[in-house]
Homo-oligomer: A and B are copies of this chain.
């Protein structure tokens, strides 16, 4: 029946009762004839509690020591899960990231996986045991120090381990049923997707969908490893993330997968920039030096006669203050007139691999927004995505209108305008 890697997040192992429930589920899979390796996060709020303890001891704890501290979290959950499995009559063995061969670089707090050498995991599987591996952690190749992988780390551990073990599937268990065509809290008619491609999932994750982290999807795509996102509270099929979303029986691939939104961005406008070569480079060089991640960038055409233009970009709200300070420091040198900051914005993105070959998608998209009275402030596109910036207050209306227009509401059909281009 093959080899399955199952990953359980913190909310799935928040207390003793949850741990016993997850153990039951793992043992059921094992007894059904599969080899099972498990990756587990720290219990519930453990990581936040540990960070709080660190803050009480030192306002700026060294990153190496913070990683040492935080990795205690998965150590507890993995040992407890192994005990619970054992109590159900199967042998389970827990392994730290280091013991499981998760080799990383030395960037504490945001380490990247360099290699996975799962010799002890394979040995445990060979002995008929269920290995339980700590998510989120690894060991530095150079210094042999313990590292953590940062946000989305446990999902990445699971996918990386599954790839190294040549598993048939990596199951990511979470507290929702799968990936939805939109956030169900905003669009009650959103529907669960049966399949999405890696590319679509990457665009959805980058556009604000929270279920899977970018890094783990990138890793899965590189190794062509199927991910199955599903709920740890039911046995329903969830969403498969695969290289080709087309079902064998489907004649046609769906055009659009979903509508994502993101409320974490802020918009900065640099007003009155001299329209000369090198000015934009100076602005973006300054921002890069300050470590600001830019998302969308728009530069208007120079207004006749003034020789001045405006440059607008979006960045994470958390970086907004830093971006403004960095730009103010070079205002005299660059010679722009003013800075405007606005964080009451929302980014709304339409994602679908089918839009590549399907004209009329853009027209439908902008018509839907216009009909809903939503004002578009910025636009950016990729091969399989269209994103706009609008008012934060209009996000529900915008996402709902687009979701309906593309027939994504449960039980409805797509209506796409004809025409050329997107």
Chain A interface residues (CB < 8 Å from chain B): 16, 19-20, 50, 53-54, 56-62, 64-66, 68-69, 71-73, 75-76, 78-80, 82-84, 86-87, 92-94, 99, 120, 144
Q: Given A53-B80, A99-B144 in contact, is the A86-B69 Cβ separation under 8 Å? A: no
Task: Give the docked Cα–Cα distance between A54 and B16 (Å).
Answer: 8
CB neighbours of A53 from chain B (8 A) = 16, 76, 80
CB neighbours of A75 from chain B (8 A) = 68-69, 71-72, 75
Docked-complex contact A65 and B79, CB < 8 angstroms: yes
Task: Give the docked Cα–Cα distance between A50 and B72 (Å).
Answer: 12
Docked-complex contact A65 and B50, CB < 8 angstroms: no
Task: Give the docked Cα–Cα distance between A405 and B316 (Å).
Answer: 78
Docked-complex contact B57 and A84, CB < 8 angstroms: yes
Docked-complex contact B80 and A54, CB < 8 angstroms: yes
CB neighbours of A94 from chain B (8 A) = 65, 68
Task: Give the docked Cα–Cα distance between A62 and B86 (Å).
Answer: 7
CB neighbours of A71 from chain B (8 A) = 75
Interface centre among A78, A80, A84 (most CB of B within 10 A): A80
3 tightest A-B CB contacts, nearest first: A16-B56, A69-B79, A58-B87
What are 19 pairs between A and B in contact, CB < 8 Å? A16-B53, A16-B57, A19-B57, A20-B57, A53-B76, A54-B83, A57-B83, A58-B84, A59-B87, A62-B82, A62-B83, A65-B92, A68-B75, A69-B75, A71-B75, A72-B75, A72-B76, A75-B75, A120-B144
Task: Give the docked Cα–Cα distance between A54 and B78 (Å).
Answer: 11
CB neighbours of A84 from chain B (8 A) = 57-58
CB neighbours of A144 from chain B (8 A) = 99, 120
